Amino acid sequence: MRWSWFMPYHFFIKRIEEREERKERERAFYENGSLLLEKLIVCCNAKPIPIPTFSPQQLLLATNNFSSSEQLVIGFSIWYKGSLEGRIVLIKRLDGLANLAINDLVISAQMSGHSNVLKPIGCCLHTLSPIFVFEFPSNGFLADRIYVSRVTELQHQPMGWERRLKIARQIAHALSYLHTAFPRPVIHMSIHMRSILLDEHDVPKLSNFYYSVSIPEGETDVEAHRAFHVNAPEFKASRKVTEKFDVYCFGQLLLHLLTGKDIHNRAQGSCINEIVDPAILAEDGEGGVSLEHQLQAVVDLALTCTVEDPQRRPTMVDVTKQLRRIERFAETGEVLLGNLQNLKLHESFEEHASASLKRNASSDEIQAVNEASERPLEV
């Protein structure tokens, strides 16, 4: 008799728990969905961006119940390798950080037409914190292929200079797109070696748009509440930033690509042989003079990107054009003058400053970015 009484009671309790779990999932879906819709309206002018959805059960199955053996990154976000619908994917969880997670998804979706951005595949909104699915970058973080300490620890082959330079130009192109392709310029706010991943062909994929902000219509700057890893002087002084914040961070990225180290010093006046990654200097092949000229030109560009006054920094469009010139120097023997002023990039600064007041991406700017890349922009 006691057993027959216990069974219905146990069943009743289980039904209550299942009902509460269902209500929790529905509440999470409405809250996360509202945040997502609000962000899409603000960032995309209410233009539809299709984002497929997955159920919690699908993602549990894809990650073997979010097994620790499938974890790739553990920090304020947790990344998993998963298998979903017959393909290997990257699954991101940011527990308790729904706003940052949705910001990352929306801007990634907004930028998904660019070949050098990590593409979102879908999301799950039925969990307390949304979970997002991205294409899988099988060659990992750029940092693990550049920083000498990581290359040694992981026993990777050092990345050659030609590949480093191409990656720099491709990421510059993606940032140019971010700054100019939309009615309201977007500032990434988190450019560093671990926000760039590599696919199986070492094609770079820009990611981590958690802290990205848009400049309001009619404004020339925006107050940013957070920045990650690299802080430009103007952010430290006022929290007000423009697109030139990303330029500063990109200049630091160039120095890291050159040196193979996580450095923040200026390197001004230093001899090339003293600062460049020995793996670059050890490369075999012809044209030692052309390599030296390329390296010096990139150092000069990095130093110009990281000047203290943001108004004196080039735009990312100009940076992309200059990096393409540096690449072509090895191909054509084109004369390279490392100083940006000699390359007449500074002549365009006032023009860009004037255009930025209108806060509209002109067709000329988009065309300039297109010409700076071997791939056309998809707009």
Tens digit of each residue's pLDDT (9 = 90 or more) over 334-363: 555 544 544 444 444 434 433 443 344 444
Q: What is the mean pLDDT of the chain?
A: 79
Supply the pLDDT for residue 355.
43
Whether the predicted pLDDT of 317 surpasses 90: yes
Whether the predicted pLDDT of 193 surpasses 50: yes
Supply the pLDDT for residue 367.
56
Highest mean pLDDT among 39-43, 298-302, 338-342: 298-302
pLDDT in tens, 115-141: 999 999 998 888 878 899 999 999 999
Whether the predicted pLDDT of 227 surpasses 90: no
Whether the predicted pLDDT of 237 surpasses 50: yes
Highest mean pLDDT among 104-108, 153-157, 332-336: 104-108
Whether the predicted pLDDT of 18 surpasses 70: no
Whether the predicted pLDDT of 306 surpasses 70: yes
In the 3-class helix/strand/coil scheme, how is the chain assigned residue by residue?
A: CHHHHHHHHHHHHHHHHHHHHHHHHHHHHHHHHHHHHHHHHHHHCCCCCCCCECCHHHHHHHCCCCCHHHEEEECCCEEEEEEECCEEEEEEECCCCHHHHHHHHHHHHHCCCCCCECCEEEEECCCCCCEEEEECCCCCECHHHHCHHHHHHHCCCCCCHHHHHHHHHHHHHHHHHHHHCCCCCEECCCCCHHHEEECCCCCEEECCCCCCEECCCCCCCEECCCCCCCCCHHHHHHCEECCHHHHHHHHHHHHHHHHCCCCCCCCCCCCHHHHCCHHHHCCCCCCHHHHHHHHHHHHHHHHHHCCCCHHHCCCHHHHHHHHHHHHHHHHHCCCCCCCCCCCCCHHHHHHHHHHHHHCCCCHHHHHHHHHCCCCCCCC
Whether the predicted pLDDT of 376 surpasses 70: no
pLDDT in tens, 21-32: 655 555 555 455
**Residue with the larger pLDDT of the pair 171 and 49:** 171
Supply the pLDDT for residue 246.
97
Supply the pLDDT for residue 21.
61
